[in-house]
Amino acid sequence: MPIRQFQAQRMRAPRDFQPIDSTPICVEIGAGKGKHALLFSANHPEFQLIAVERTREKFVAMQKQHQLEGQNNLTPIHADALPWVVHALHPAQVQQFFILYPNPEPHNPAQRWLNMPFFEFLLSRLQSGGQITLASNIPEYIEEAQQQLIDVWKLPFVKERIAETSARTHFEIKYLERGELCQQLIITKPVDYTTRFDDFQPLQGKQPTEVSAE
């Protein structure tokens, strides 16, 4: 399906927004209660992970557990991912994005990650050779994303079946216990890959540009 251009200049900064200046970083979008974020940061102290969650209840649960465990390489963020990414991240700053079991948007396919114009902006924040891990328990979601990678985004990827013993998120545990097929796409950004946002710097709290109606 055709993808229109993302209007980054229209994005308002999240409340209590703080820009991220460290490089490089990893980012988890939709981190939930933080099970994967806490495991990843504990097992990979060499990486700095930013875990973004929009739902306050889930964010608070992640924050409390982080305070108990104390990983200094994990930063939980309570924000909507789209404006946060636009305002907080610099071009080619991210080593890896994790998008694990996102809402499949059954009634609004245009809001699925690889169908959104925003996905191009997300790619601009990813380093050359960086990766995006997209996981789902819905075969049709993975199949559609795979086709978008081929037809629209022209990106190399590997499709993997997630092991039955995997336990990265609460959703993953539940789905695998029910015997559902969980899969992931490991998407890689080639060295020569370009987007229209490669030179777009963070807005960092500036008011969005007003665009007059035609």
* Helices 118-125 & 81-88 angle (0-180, nearest 10): 40
Between 5 and 152, whose confidence is greater? 152
pLDDT (tens digit per residue) in 29-65: 999 999 999 999 999 999 999 999 999 999 999 999 9
Q: Which residues pair with 157 in a beta bridge?
A: 187
**pLDDT tens string 152-176:** 999 999 999 999 999 999 999 999 9
Q: Is the pLDDT of residue 141 over 50?
A: yes
Does residue 213 surpass a pLDDT of 50?
no
What per-residue confidence (pLDDT) applies to 203? Answer: 67
Quote the pLDDT of residue 206.
52
Rounded to the nearest 10 degrees, what angle do helices 35-43 and 56-69 cross at? Answer: 30
Euclidean distance between CA atoms 31 and 98, whole angstroms: 9
pLDDT greater than 60 at residue 214: no
- Token duo for residue 137: 């328990």
| CATH number corresponding to 33-186 | 3.40.50.150
pLDDT of 100 higher than 80: yes
Which pLDDT does position 22 carry in this prediction?
Answer: 80
User: Residue-wise over 184-207: b if at least 16 C-beta within 10 A, else e?
Assistant: bbebbbeeebebebeebebbeeee
Which pLDDT score, from 0 to 100, does residue 19 have?
A: 77
A 10 A CB-CB count for 146 gives 17
Domain residue limits, the chain: 33-186
Note the pLDDT of residue 146: 98
What's the pLDDT at 204?
Answer: 57
Mean pLDDT, range 74-90, rounded to an integer: 94
- Which pLDDT does position 4 carry in this prediction? 77
| Residue 212 predicted with pLDDT over 70 | no
pLDDT for the residue numbered 21: 81
Q: Kindly report which listed range (14-18, 87-91, 141-145) carries the lowest average pLDDT score.
A: 14-18
Q: Residue 12: pLDDT band by 50, 70, 90 thresholds?
A: confident
* Other beta carbons less than 10 A from residue 13's beta carbon: 21
pLDDT at residue 210, rounded to an integer: 38
Confidence of residue 8 (pLDDT cuts 50, 70, 90): confident
Question: Is residue 40 a contact partner of residue 67, using CB atoms and an 8 Å limit?
Answer: no
